[in-house]
């Protein structure tokens, strides 16, 4: 999808417009989602697992996204918000797990830079688009089901994109999350994927509904060669594919079981990823925290000086 281009195409130099990004996504995404055996939605039984276990529980049979049927994208295009939603459910659903549920991929382009109202509030620019994945209303197969997604990306040459973790002391935009994960294509990034390692178990996103999101290392894979001619033409055929797994939640804390809701979002883009500087609030706190002792030292120094002077004056008078 957008952002997974090699430097040969020169997108870094000539960034596409938001509308072009959106239409590319809208035309490539359903074909990318369909017809591939390997992209899957995982479900694990997290009832009896320890913290940090991999996989995070006994796996249930995965849902293959290739066997989902998807809505007609035309009906979900929202030109006002530059967004479109692909909503799918398994074509064959003998247990009726998806009778009232769906897996949705919402893509949104931006006309300028800014930040969404809802956490994780990643900084975006006109060269980026957001992909939001939401599992809503599907019946889990266990009381403590954890979900995961297998993500396939394009590699560059023989290598997989670089996975990077960036840490910050600032959590103003995503409470208690001090990390941003990135996939970078090339050392002078020609494209990137960026996300905060957090998912949410309620529509109302906040600290109470935040779940950890874990990413496995990337592995090169030959299994992801897209069948679609458009995808093949768009991404040069000699690019190799890489895959990694994302898992959402832990056996304790909030989870999908709370409201049968799970959402996770990521930012895809061309060029260098937007850089989050410290927020005004944190800068203010730092200024106060670092400034107050400084002011006290200064005040103390002035006080001492005055005291010394008074003392010496006193001595002189004597
Ligand atoms: C959880 O695992 C422990 C040890 O592996 C086992 O003794 C226990 O019966 C398990 N509990 C459940 C509910 O499966
Ligand atoms: C999708 O919907 C539009 C109008 O709503 C229609 O013109 C188009 O044929 C539909 N496409 C498919 C594949 O059903
Ligand atoms: C789906 O929703 C209907 C109506 O709310 C309900 O009767 C039914 O039990 C639900 N099915 C599942 C599998 O949750
Ligand atoms: C889910 O919990 C209920 C009540 O706590 C229990 O009766 C049921 O066996 C559990 N189901 C599974 C699949 O663990
Ligand atoms: C993702 O997890 C599933 C289930 O644990 C596993 O079969 C698969 O090989 C993993 N894929 C990658 C790319 O790690």
Q: Which domain holds residue 311?
A: 278-318
Which class for 317: exposed (0-12), middle (13-18), buried (19 or more C-beta within 10 A)? exposed
Query: Based on the domain organization, do 163 and 288 belong to the same domain?
Result: no
Domain closes at, from 244, 260, 277: 277
E-only strand ranges, the chain: 40-45, 58-59, 63-64, 68-70, 83-90, 102-109, 128-136, 145-154, 162-167, 179-185, 191-195, 198-200, 210-215, 219-221, 241-248, 261-270
Query: Based on the domain organization, do 44 and 181 belong to the same domain?
Result: yes
Beta-carbon count within 10 A of 64 CB: 15
Taking the chain (318 residues) in runs of 10, the rounded mean pLDDT of each run is: 37 44 48 49 86 83 88 88 92 95 92 90 89 95 93 76 85 78 85 92 92 91 61 61 88 92 92 77 68 62 56 51
pTM above 0.85, yes or no: no
Q: How does pLDDT run across 236-245, given as a tens digit for each residue? A: 555 677 888 9
Predicted local confidence at residue 103, as pLDDT: 94
In a domain, 11, yes or no: no
Query: Based on the domain organization, do 181 and 38 belong to the same domain?
Result: yes
Query: Based on the domain organization, do 219 and 301 belong to the same domain?
Result: no
Predicted local confidence at residue 38, as pLDDT: 46
Atom of ligand 4 lying closest to residue 141 CA: 13
Output the CA 151–ligand 2 centroid distance in Å: 28
Q: How many domains does the chain fold into?
A: 2
Query: Based on the domain organization, do 103 and 250 belong to the same domain?
Result: yes
Identify which ligand lies nearest to the alpha carbon of 141: 4
Predicted local confidence at residue 264, as pLDDT: 95
Query: Based on the domain organization, do 268 and 313 belong to the same domain?
Result: no
Query: Based on the domain organization, do 253 and 152 belong to the same domain?
Result: yes
Identify which ligand lies nearest to the alpha carbon of 145: 4
Query: Based on the domain organization, do 75 and 172 belong to the same domain?
Result: yes
Q: Which long-range contacts (CB under 8 A, 24 or more apart) does 97-100 make?
A: 97/138, 97/139, 97/140, 97/141, 98/138, 98/139, 99/139, 100/137, 100/138, 100/139
CB-CB contact of 250 with 46 (8 Å)? yes
Query: Based on the domain organization, do 124 and 82 belong to the same domain?
Result: yes
Predicted local confidence at residue 10, as pLDDT: 34
In a domain, 6, yes or no: no
Query: Based on the domain organization, do 234 and 289 belong to the same domain?
Result: no
Query: Based on the domain organization, do 99 and 51 belong to the same domain?
Result: yes
Atom of ligand 2 lying closest to residue 72 CA: 1
In a domain, 9, yes or no: no
Query: Based on the domain organization, do 312 and 224 belong to the same domain?
Result: no
């Amino acid at each position: 999808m957008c952002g997974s281009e090699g430097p040969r195409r020169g997108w870094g130099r000539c960034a596409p417009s938001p509308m072009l990004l959106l239409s590319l996504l809208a035309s490539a995404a359903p074909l990318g989602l369909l017809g591939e055996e390997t992209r899957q939605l995982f479900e694990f039984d997290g009832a009896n697992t320890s913290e940090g276990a991999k996989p995070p529980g006994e796996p249930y049979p995965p849902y293959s996204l290739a066997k989902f049927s998807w809505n007609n994208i035309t009906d979900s295009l929202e030109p006002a918000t530059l967004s479109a939603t692909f909503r799918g459910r398994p074509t064959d659903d003998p247990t009726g797990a998806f009778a009232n549920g769906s897996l949705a991929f919402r893509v949104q382009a931006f006309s300028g830079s800014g930040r969404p109202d809802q956490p994780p509030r990643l900084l975006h620019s006109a060269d980026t688009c957001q992909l939001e994945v939401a599992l809503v209303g599907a019946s889990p197969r266990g009381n403590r089901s954890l979900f995961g997604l297998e993500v396939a990306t394009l590699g560059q040459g023989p290598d997989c994109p670089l996975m990077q973790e960036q840490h910050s002391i600032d959590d103003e935009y995503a409470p208690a999350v001090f990390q941003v994960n990135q996939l970078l294509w090339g050392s002078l990034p020609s494209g990137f994927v960026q996300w905060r390692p957090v998912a949410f178990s309620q529509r109302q996103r906040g600290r109470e509904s935040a779940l950890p999101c874990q990413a496995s290392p990337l592995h090169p894979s030959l299994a992801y060669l897209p069948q679609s001619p458009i995808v093949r033409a768009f991404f040069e055929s000699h690019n190799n594919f890489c895959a990694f797994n994302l898992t959402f939640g832990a056996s304790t804390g909030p989870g999908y079981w709370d409201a049968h809701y799970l959402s996770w979002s990521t930012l895809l883009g061309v060029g260098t990823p937007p850089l989050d500087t410290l927020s005004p609030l944190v800068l203010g706190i730092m200024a106060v925290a670092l400034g107050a002792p400084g002011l006290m030292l200064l005040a103390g120094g002035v006080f001492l000086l005055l005291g010394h002077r008074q003392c010496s004056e006193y001595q002189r008078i004597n």
